[in-house]
Chain A
Amino acid sequence: MTPTKLIRVAAMLVLLGLLVQLVCTFFWTPGAFVIFASLGLGLILAGAALFFFAVWRVLRQTKAL
């Protein structure tokens, strides 16, 4: 996958996480909070990890690391 594509996938994960959280805020119950914190935050952190992976790969390919 090209770096741009990886970053776009990372952005989609982050977006998905934010949308999950947004939906949860409209049905705020104890269960919604658990999903907000687990699935929502989890997707966002997964996106962030993928973003850093893409950056790391570019740096390695350009011999900057």
Chain B
Amino acid sequence: MPTVIVVLIAATAVLVVFLAVGAEALAQHTAGRLVLLGGLVILPVAVAGTGVTTGAVRSSNAEFCLDCHEMEPWGKSLFVDNPRSLVAMHYQKRLIGRDQVCFSCHTNYAMFGTIQAKLNGLRHVYYHYIGGVPETIELAQAYPNSICLHCHEDGRAYLEQGAHDSVRAELTENKTSCLSCHDIAHDMAGVKAGNFWSPP
């Protein structure tokens, strides 16, 4: 949480205490009643709402994903020295934003896709704290091409690559997965072997 919001929450809490003490006197006249409305309802709801919105936006950051130790190996897979790994390649060449690196490939770009991704995330938080994390972690559904195509569909490199010509329609309809040829997403074997790229 940004410090400003923490300070605002604390200041609002102090204000609420003072208003509760002075409620009797303030309720006697119109101006006082407006102060009560502003200080006990409007300000707290605005401050708390801003906090929730900020938190929701920040939950797209890789930092947030990697807060749970279960995701550590996938976090490490960003650094594997393997140009064939989609994840390592996109990350190391900075083809996708560094801050939201996981979210860029693990959200649904359809309408309300972000909300859907957040609700899925909520379920993962539940597994982490209460439900228990499964032995092997895998995606709930097969990875949809639509995510890759959100960035690549009208991109020159994708369109000009002759290897796609024979399957392009099937790719668009999600009948053939991008991963059937680009078959290393997270190079987990590389993580296990400790095969990481280090800057020269």
Contact = CB atoms under 8 A, between A and B. Distances in A.
B9 interface: yes
The secondary structure that dominates the A interface is helix
Given A29-B67, A30-B59, A7 B23 contact: yes
Interface residues of A, number: 31
Nearest to A49: B41
A11 B55 contact: no
Nearest to B11: A18
A4 B16 contact: no
Contacts of B129: 31
B67 A15 contact: no
A40 B5 CA distance: 14
Interface stretch (B45-53, B92-100, B135-143): B45-53
B62 interface: no
Nearest to A41: B48
Contacts of A28: 1
**Central interface residue in A12, A18, A29, by most chain B CB within 10 Å:** A18
A57 to B, nearest CB: 13
Chain B interface extent, by class:
35 or more
B42 to A, nearest CB: 9
Contacts of B125: 30-31, 34
A37 B48 CA distance: 8
A30 B12 contact: no
Given A7-B23, A15-B17, A25-B6, A36 B51 contact: yes
Contacts of B121: 30
Interface in A1-25: 3-4, 7-8, 10-12, 14-15, 17-19, 21-22, 25
B20 interface: yes
Contacts of A21: 9, 48, 51
B13 interface: yes
B67 A30 contact: yes
15 contacts: A3-B27, A4-B27, A7-B27, A14-B44, A15-B17, A22-B6, A28-B1, A30-B67, A31-B129, A36-B55, A40-B51, A41-B48, A41-B52, A44-B44, A47-B40
Interface of A: 3-4, 7-8, 10-12, 14-15, 17-19, 21-22, 25, 28-31, 33-34, 36-37, 40-41, 44-45, 47-48, 51-52
